[in-house]
Structure 1
Amino acid sequence: MENPLITIIIPIYNREQTLERCLCSVLRQTYTHLEIIAVDDGSTDHSRVILDKYQKKDSRLRVVRKENSGVSESRNLGLQLARGEYIQFVDADDWITRDATEILLKAMQTGSEMVITDYYRVIGRKIWIKGHIPESSLMSRAEFARYMMKSPANFYYGVTWNKFYRMDIIRDNALFFSRELDWCEDFKFNLEYLKYVSNIRVETRPIYYYVKTKGSLVDSKIDLRETIRTKRILFGYYKELYQALDMYEENKLKIQSFYLEFARDKIKSPVLPEPPLISKGEKIPKKKASPPRLHSGKKTKSDTP
């Protein structure tokens, strides 16, 4: 199909300060045949008002509301409702370049079944380019797995927002985000998805702005017992991938070092002071200043182990 429908899923929980910036970046994509599913996970701030405003402006945006139950349930609901041939995920804290979806689609159409890209890490007004695989290429699952073996806890491999997926693979294999994990559910999803692909397209051009947000899981102190439990669950899927590739016995020690890895981003290029956070000529609303509020419930931001 020359002009396939692409579904972009945005899970949202109390993100009134960043939501407009995110929505504008998605709605202004150069590739326009989009279905945008914004899943409001029981927000109690002004996120609801913002969503209603943008839904009235653009019929491609579909707002779905549910009681607060966490990011996995939000993404799963988005997948259940998706009609697109391809799936892209964006978090409400973040934003994407204007040509992000177009780049992902072109990369997927080179014969790949998953696309992975470098990304920008934003902290205040500073930015880093992050990645792990040095060159753009179409590679086999085994080649990709060898790179992942070197740094399995790198966000690059674990998160969903720097990747592009085929909906038929997700649907045919009943893939979903785990309800038993409060973090790293995205890495588990990726490990399962990789079982059903033969080729991965690597794009070193960054297209996603990931914002370090206070209160996200990466900033929180996670209970040691929960960390061990999560790593044990994840390792089962991680090990299974390498066994399927007949790579486990040969690389057992490297693969088992997964237990010692902690969440981190590999810096691919030096920090750039005061960078332009949007493309030239693109006008995206700045983060709104508003008084702090106290909310309960699970957060939508998730990071890899």
Structure 2
Amino acid sequence: MSQSKDSKALSNKHPPLLSVIIPVYNVEAYLERCIQSILKQNYSNLEVILVDDGSTDNSWDICKLYKSRDHRIIIIQQTNAGSSVARNTGLNKASGDYIAFIDSDDYVKTEMFQTMISYALTNNLSVVECGLTQSNKAKELSPYNHKCFIETQEEAVERLIREKNWSVWRRIYKSEVIGDLRFIPGKIHQDVFFTIDVLNRVEKQGYIAEPFYIYNTENESITRSPYNMKKLAAKDAPYYVFERTQHHNLNVRTLASQYLIRTLLSHYDRLFSHSYLDPDYTYRKEIKSEIIDQLELKYENNSFYALLAKYSPFWFYGMILKLVALRIKIRLMLLKR
């Protein structure tokens, strides 16, 4: 990617306004780091929308403090309703030409928005995605990664299914592409639904490999908490991916089916290790039936465990999982010697 070419794209036009939407909930330990990383961007035409989702710590006070320091900051406080609703509140308030989402415990590199908006303008793109890294690896980053490319809709969807890169905070979006699209309240994997819907509205998207986004690994969230029934309900996300990719080529449809089966197997396996959640096998019977339905679609879904789940009685499948877990445990013990 040519930095001079992208800089020229910005200098020849009035810099578009970028609305950065940040849902905030009990993140006083990380919020200032997040806000500062945005205010220090070398792209300055921003409005930063902080939506406090009923925090009970000092997060709201931090929002008010930064509002008093920088006129670009807009603060909104609402009763706790979840990050989906907070993001929607931000979308309803946003007036930017482009939209970006940042999670309040994460932070971004100084060059992120300048580089992404420049690339979008240079190549007439409505969506641009960047790379990410984890906060515990941020200091290990190599020099600037210049790899970037433009993908067709199918190419982008195929890569996302392979890499499972659904997070909305690694992209900028032209406001007109989002339009009336909103996040679904209460969804654990809300980003999956939103990302698929956005990509189905564009013919192409840009990708910049540089890990501009720093994902926080220190703060526990619901997606990293112990397995529970709310997580089981999240299997509707891969179903949505499967359903919304049926107009694509055979390769994409096959990947979507494989992705769905892998997710179903993950829930199936976890219910065996958390059998108290499913004492009468109700949910495992349901998932087994869903796996069989996918296998009958005749895609290249020759997963050993999918076939094992299809043909094995529950007691046998559970025994295999215990033997595999024991084998892994023994191997780890031997490696520590």
Asked if these proteins are the same fold (TM beyond 0.5), I'd say: yes
Residues 258/40 of structure 1: CA separation in 2 closer, same or farther (3 Å cut): same
Note if contact 1:122-1:128 (Cα within 8 Å) is conserved in structure 2: no
Equivalent position to 1:227, from 231, 242, 257: 231
C-alpha separation in 2, matches of 1:200 and 1:50: 35
Task: Indicate the residue corresponding to 2:244 in structure 1.
Answer: 241
- 1:103, 1:125 → 2: CA distance? 19
1:73: Cα distance to partner? Answer: 0.4
State the superposition RMSD in angstroms.
2.2
Q: Which of the residues 26, 33, 36 maps onto 2:45?
A: 33
Separation (CA, whole Å) in 2 of partners of 1:124 and 1:108: 28
Match for residue 175 of structure 2 among 150, 167, 173: 167
Counterparts of 1:262-273 in structure 2 under 5 Å? none
**d(CA) in 2 for partners of 1:18 and 1:234?**
29
Q: Which residue of structure 1 lines up, in the alignment, with residue 278 of structure 2?
A: none
Q: Does residue 56 of the first structure (1) align with residue 68 of the second (2)?
A: yes
Correspondence for 1:74 among 83, 86, 109: 86
Cα distance change on mapping 1:242 and 1:124 into 2, 3 Å: closer
Q: How far off is 1:180 after superposition?
A: 4.0
Tell me how many residue pairs correspond in the alignment: 248
CA contact (8 A) 1:26 1:96 kept: yes
1:131-155 superposed Cα distances (whole Å, 9 cap, x missing partner): xxx941011111112223323xx3x
Contact (CA 8 Å) 1:121, 1:127: kept in 2 or not? no
Counterpart amino acid of residue 181 in structure 2: L
1:90 has 2:102 as partner: yes
1:176 to 171, 176, 182: 182
Bigger RCO of structures 1 and 2 (CA < 8 A, at least 6 apart)? 1
Change (3 A) 1:15 1:144: same
Q: Deviations over 1:78-98 (max 9, x none)?
A: 000000010011111111111
By percentage of residues, which structure has more helix?
A: 2
Aligned: 1:256 with 2:257? yes
Structure 1 residue aligned with 2:297: none
TM-score for both structures, normalised by structure 2 = 0.69
Work out whether residues 99 and 172 of structure 2, in 8 Å CA contact, stay in contact via their aligned partners in 1.
yes
Whether the 8 Å CA contact 1:18–1:94 is kept in 2: the answer is yes
- The match for 2:207 is 202
Q: Which moved more, 1:205-214 or 1:69-78?
A: 205-214
Rg comparison, structure with higher value = 2
How far apart in 2 are the matches of 1:57 and 1:236? 45
TM-score, normalised to structure 1, is: 0.75
What's 1:145 paired with? 157
Residue 256 of structure 1 and its aligned partner are, at CA, apart by 1.3
Q: Which moved more, 1:253-262 or 1:13-22?
A: 253-262
Q: Contact conserved, 1:120 with 1:127, CA < 8 A, in 2?
A: no
Is structure 2 residue 127 aligned with structure 1 residue 114? Answer: yes
CA distance in 2, matches of 1:251, 1:42: 40
User: What are the equivalent positions in structure 2 for 1:209-220 lying under 5 Å apart?
Assistant: 209-220=214-225
- Listed as ranges, the gaps of 5+ residues in structure 1 are 264-305
Q: Which amino acid is 1:107 matched to?
A: Y
Residues 118 and 207 of structure 1 are in contact (CA less than 8 Å); yes or no, is this contact kept in structure 2? yes
2:312 aligned partner: none
